[in-house]
Amino acid sequence: MATENDAINQFVTALIREKGIDKTVDETVLAEIVSTMSDQLEEYINRALLEALNDDQIKAFGEIVNGENSVDEINNFFYNNNINTQEITVRSFQRFRDAYLGANTSQE
């Protein structure tokens, strides 16, 4: 079963191939680039999710994150607050791709 991190790594790997960087570096450097870019994309998505929250939601979310809560509970928080995480995530992937490739390449 593929995880969210697998999807991010696959997406980043595809971007690197599309830009042709995979042909110019060795495997060790490529793995480091994929890891760094995957971390950046994950932060980009998380930032977009937080920006979708109002002040009260941010306070409540902070309490959830600082507690002993599972990923399911965090996901439920977004669901219960009518935050469309899928839409935000897809939009984040598209914007990250556009920024990395340096062109308006998405189909928004």
pLDDT digits (tens, 9 = 90+) for 24-52: 999 999 999 999 999 999 999 999 999 99
The answer to whether residue 5 scores a pLDDT higher than 90 is: no
Tokens of 31: 């793995």
Bin 77: left if φ > 0, else alpha if -120 < ψ < 50, else beta. alpha
- Kind and range of the H or E element at 31? helix 27-51
Please tell me the pTM assigned to this model: 0.83
Contact 78, 49 (CB under 8 A): yes
The structure tokens 């996901």 sit at: 75
Rounded to 5°, angle at Cα 10 from 27 and 37: 70
